[in-house]
Structure 1
Amino acid sequence: MPTPLAKALRGLRDRTQPEDVGYPAGGRRRVPGLRREEVAALANLSVDYLVQMEQGRADRPSAPVVAALCRALSVSRHDREHLYLAAGLHPPSQQFVSQHIPAGVQRITRQLHGCPVAVYDAAWTLLARNPLWVALHGSSVSELGENLVASVFLHDGLHHVPDLGHRERFKDALVSDVLISYGRYPHDVRFRRFVEEMRRDSEDFARRWASTVPQTFGAEKKTVHHPVLGDVTLDCDVLTDSEEDLRIVVYTAAASDQAAQQLAFLDVGSTR
């Protein structure tokens, strides 16, 4: 007899249309919805593990695995809660940092052509990015699941930003936003442990943490050094999704700016 998780997963996979998660529409398919290979690729899981879950041979996946499946299948809040419960887990609540990306935010990431876009959670863990974001940042691009705060303060993750003044302002703004999230999620033990580790391991982070004034990100210019195009100066806006408390980072350029031509060049290469 299929387990609750197996039934829930198969039902969600069958009713998710390929075009809803970024795959081309049309074409002949022997079964409705998504193929297992497509779900596994979107969730960064092995096909074999997905088969085991759908066959009831692996019915206790971890919370990160379920979160990845929810993002891959672009589920609603109701379906997300059902999938967590079917896996024997407590659904995420507003007391904890959410890594769920609502369908609308996923569409923004996929459909906002010509603009580099990335999505982070309230702790600044990278959840999604579009191909143009990857093309712009080149070899310095962050991997999915990487935390921007740790990258910046422990691994010099802003070395591709040539302007020292911008790097300092960005560090202040980043610590300030983390401080706001720290107060918003007092029961998220994992997040609070992460902050304490950052304060212990980075003197720079600890110093800013002790002196910063909480404030949200504002729009500003950002210059990224690209290995082929050189410096690319763009408008950077950090938008928020109030439902899941996400940060949506979008780079744009006025049509008359040189940066618009640079983005157009990168966009062609990223879509090949």
Structure 2
Amino acid sequence: MATGTTVQAFFDDATGTVSYVIVDNASKRAAIVDPVLDFDFKSGRTGTAQADRLLAYVREQGLQVQWILETHAHADHLSSARHLQAQVGGRIAIGEHIREVQATFKKLYNLERSFLPDGRQFDHLFKDNEVFKIGEVEARALLVPGHTPADMAYVVDGAVFVGDTLFMPDVGTARADFPGGDAHTLYRSVHRILALPPETRMYVCHDYPPNDRPPAWETTVAAQRAGNIHVREGVSEAEFVTMRKTRDATLDVPTLILPSIQVNIRAGQLPAAEGNGIAYLRIPINALPLRAP
């Protein structure tokens, strides 16, 4: 049983997002995973209440933040990576296929010419199977596309942080209908994760509890293999793809997709203020490609 790390979870009720602080107990170095920036769409105001919870924990524990890890460019919350970096440092990292996502959404939002879809907005772009360290603890980045082309999972000390690829067993799997998403690819990515040792602890990025159960975010590979309602053992790729496409066609677009993606492809950087001192986000009208072809 791995004991070199501590994992602290932070659940955001507003977006159903779970952020994590992974701590190497020996060195007190840490990685933050999928941090949230509060955003009220009605007023256009940001806030740092969720980020401040992480900061308080980091400071109380005397941690040195080494990494701020994004599993993908989220469509349901804004990232607070830049805010956190300004407060406690750390390298902001994501998978190298973020370039594909940036290219797609640069066109949609008609972003400024100076925005280059080459990933330079992030401090580090992980390659598939790249090994890195949190303190003295070895970690590995796994490419798990399907939800988006750039999704990554992070394997750390007997645990895996899966982003949106998998949810709790009674919730299932991520949608695959965003631009660049693909249900066949998602199925194969899920099974790459489920090929990890059965005792591997699994931490999900969101929970949408059915049947009024309390929010949860920790499970195991074995529990997912046995009981995930979408991909438990015995579900074929064809069955999964049919289910996923049918289900995705009924899902609403995430509430914060329009503001969040244009911020998250910039590593959580908010737009600069314009001449009047006010920053603006872009809202494309009658243009959003809601479904993957």
User: Do the structures match in fold with TM over 0.5?
Assistant: no
Q: Which has the larger radius of gyration?
A: 1
TM-score (norm 2): 0.29
- Between structures 1 and 2, the one with greater helix share: 1
